[in-house]
């Protein structure tokens, strides 16, 4: 008989009792990973810049003001499909898309704006509160699913429901995973992963990984513990424990610690030279004050004075005579 860890059963029981927002069902049913972001809260946290760079940089979200002002974002992969809830009036979205060079189209009465650049993402407006982001093929498939009588949903949604109130969460059917590892930079393998982060009062992170066996969980936990000193300063308080075939991670940090870690180390002061000298108080290290290097002298360059051309005529009865020639006029080339 297969032995299932009690902790995992508790997680599953808790997840089954939760419900997720209805708009999550537009996520790809073949998703191997889901990432949820409460952007309304995250964008006012110290993590706003790196997460914004990931979404509108590496993932390639269209750079539209309405998307930057979204409330919540749900991303599914491996076929990238992102959902954004917020305020998306059609007139504003049309103007913003046009300014970014997106081509307006309609598919099955759904307004779409397609990117003209190869590999760039497009956008479809399902309602005033929901838009979907992806390539043209993925968007058309999402529209077709939404109008189909038979509904097929990602099984990861049930596991993700428990995190609906969290600021950032990740659920994956395995690690490594391209999407999940963008937000979970762990060098480990797992048969499943689920975790969440709260950034409203500092940082609180909890996660659980499922290994193939209790032995593998113990080995992976030890590997993660050894990697902690090499993690960024903000993550060096990571706690790692193993229970049967599950690995539990937890981390907590204050807002001040987060700001200090993201700001980076203070600049290293310039080295100071000292010498040992005997003073009335004893032998002391005296700082050698180096004079500032002299500033380069400013050399004034005088503009040469143009001398007039003079013709002197000799042999005249009234003596030598000088005639000053007029200056030649400059010709415009």
- Across the 333 residues of the chain, what is the mean pLDDT of every consecutive 10-residue run? 40 52 94 97 91 95 96 96 97 95 96 92 97 96 92 92 95 95 90 93 92 94 91 85 96 81 58 66 65 61 62 66 67 51
Residue listed under structure tokens 């498939």: 141
Structure-token pair, residue 1: 């008989």
Containing H/E element for 41?
A: helix 39-42
Strand spans (E) along 47-141 = 72-77, 81-85, 103-107, 110-114, 122-127, 130-134
pTM: 0.73
Contact 159, 16 (CB under 8 A): no
Contact 126, 26 (CB under 8 A): yes
pLDDT more than 90, % of the chain: 59
Q: For 217, phi and psi rounded to 5 degrees?
A: -65, -40
Cis ω for the linkage preceding 176 (within 30 of 0): yes
Q: CA angle 182-186-189, nearest 5°?
A: 110
Domain ranges of the chain: 6-260
pLDDT of residue 150: 83
pLDDT of residue 7: 44
pLDDT of residue 330: 56
pLDDT in tens, 205-221: 999 999 999 999 999 99
pLDDT of residue 267: 55
pLDDT of residue 18: 63
pLDDT of residue 325: 67
What DSSP designation does 175 have? B
Q: CA angle 274-279-285, nearest 5°?
A: 20
pLDDT in tens, 10-68: 444 444 446 889 999 999 999 999 999 999 999 999 889 999 999 999 999 999 999 99
The CA-atom distances, in angstroms, between 206 and each of 193, 231, 238, 247 are 11, 17, 10, 11
Contact 125, 85 (CB under 8 A): no
């Amino acid at each position: 008989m297969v032995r299932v860890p009690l902790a995992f059963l508790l997680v599953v029981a808790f997840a089954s009792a939760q419900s997720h927002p209805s708009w999550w069902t537009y996520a790809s049913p073949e998703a191997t990973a889901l990432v949820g972001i409460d952007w309304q809260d995250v964008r006012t946290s110290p993590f706003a810049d790196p997460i914004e760079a990931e979404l509108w940089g590496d993932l390639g979200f269209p750079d539209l003001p309405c998307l930057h002002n979204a409330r919540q974002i749900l991303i599914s992969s491996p076929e990238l499909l992102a959902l954004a809830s917020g305020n998306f009036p059609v007139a504003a979205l049309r103007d913003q898309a046009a300014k970014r060079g997106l081509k307006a189209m309609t598919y099955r009465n759904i307004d779409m704006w397609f990117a003209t650049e190869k590999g760039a993402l497009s956008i479809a407006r399902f309602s005033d509160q929901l838009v979907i982001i992806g390539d043209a093929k993925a968007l058309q498939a999402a529209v077709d699913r939404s109008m189909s009588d038979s509904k097929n949903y990602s099984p990861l949604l049930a596991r993700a429901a428990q995190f609906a109130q969290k600021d950032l969460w990740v659920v994956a059917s395995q690690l490594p995973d391209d999407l999940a590892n963008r937000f979970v930079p762990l060098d480990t393998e797992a048969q499943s992963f689920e975790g969440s982060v709260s950034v409203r009062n500092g940082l609180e992170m909890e996660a659980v990984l499922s290994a193939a066996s209790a032995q593998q969980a113990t080995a992976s936990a030890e590997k993660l513990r050894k990697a902690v000193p090499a993690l960024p300063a903000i993550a060096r308080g990571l706690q790692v424990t193993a229970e049967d075939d599950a690995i539990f991670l937890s981390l907590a940090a204050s807002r001040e610690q987060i700001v200090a870690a993201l700001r980076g180390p203070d600049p290293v002061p310039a080295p100071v030279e000292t010498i040992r000298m005997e003073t009335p108080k004893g032998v002391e290290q005296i700082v050698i004050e180096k004079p500032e290097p002299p500033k380069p002298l400013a050399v004034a360059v005088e503009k040469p004075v143009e001398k007039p051309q003079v013709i002197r005529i000799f042999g005249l009865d009234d003596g030598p005579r000088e005639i000053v020639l007029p200056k030649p006029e400059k010709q415009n080339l």
